[in-house]
Copies of this chain bind each other. A is one copy, B any other.
């Protein structure tokens, strides 16, 4: 089968053998924002030559702005609940293929505001099949970072944090960003930011502090973007769990490294897992749905 992770800004396809092992991977920058409705054409070109008939897709491709909207499944939800919410596209959607979409999850009433995810549920299904533990805490950092509580092998509840997007808009469009220069990640400045944010101050004041600490020579222009990253990740992690907690982090290597470092500063252990878990999760869902993998 072919597992596809199709998000707002990226597209990845995995060719899997019957046991779910990854045989080949193809990537593209053709996220939803670039595709502009040409879903069949873009997918056909990406997976051309792969002879698997079954294609299962997760991510924003199943949203209102995607190829076909699949309703959210309500948490608490496990692999079988998510598999039950999968939907097939019409037979003629892509010549010679059988196309399915994985639903996202919604979580209402557990927190102060309702919450949603699309794509992360597939990574979580992959993680659950690897861990085989009933309860854990999972972090999926990114543009919209997800904090997930797993109980009895199901996604019990989750909350989203706008960390990555806030970093990006401040870096690109704020006065703070104008003071920054491109530079390699600075571990020390990052750690200072994490500790400042976790120290209980007002985030709006701490953000202005990026500017004043530079004005007063406490930070060099090359350190500012790492300091801002530390401030925002520290703010995200403040209140997410207790000292001594163990967390699972699912992210690209560079991002996982930052989060694991920040968690360590806050006295928490973490195990990081690569983003390829999504392929394993999609395979699990296809098996649970009894599709011809």
Contacts and interface: CB of A to CB of B under 8 A. Distances in A.
Interface of A: 108, 111-116, 144-145, 159-163, 165-166, 169-170, 172-175, 196, 199, 201-209, 212-213, 215-216, 218, 232, 235-236, 238-240
23 contacts: A112-B206, A112-B209, A113-B206, A113-B209, A113-B213, A113-B218, A114-B209, A114-B212, A115-B212, A116-B212, A159-B205, A161-B202, A161-B204, A161-B208, A162-B174, A162-B204, A162-B205, A163-B204, A169-B170, A173-B173, A202-B240, A203-B203, A204-B232
Given A114-B215, A235-B202, A238-B202, A208 B160 contact: yes
The 8 closest A-B CB pairs, nearest first, are: A113-B209, A161-B204, A160-B208, A162-B207, A114-B216, A162-B208, A169-B173, A173-B173
Contacts of A235: 202-204
Contacts of A169: 169-170, 173-174
**Residue among A215, A218, A235 with the most chain B CB within 10 A?**
A215
A165 B161 contact: no
Contacts of A203: 203, 235
A114 B219 CA distance: 12
Contact of A160 (B112, B144, B201, B212): B212
A162 B212 CA distance: 12
Contact of A113 (B163, B212, B239): B212
Given A108-B216, A196-B112, A213-B113, A239 B161 contact: no
A205 B111 contact: yes
**Residue among A172, A204, A235 with the most chain B CB within 10 A?**
A204
**Residue among A161, A165, A208, A238 with the most chain B CB within 10 A?**
A208
A239 B160 contact: no
Given A169-B169, A173-B172, A174-B169, A161 B205 contact: yes
A166 B207 contact: yes
A20 to B, nearest CB: 32
Contacts of A144: 208
A218 B114 contact: yes
Contacts of A238: 202
Contact of A174 (B165, B204, B240): B165
A194 B292 CA distance: 52
A172 to B, nearest CB: 7
A215 B117 CA distance: 12
A163 B162 CA distance: 16
A144 B213 CA distance: 15
Nearest to A216: B114
A164 to B, nearest CB: 10
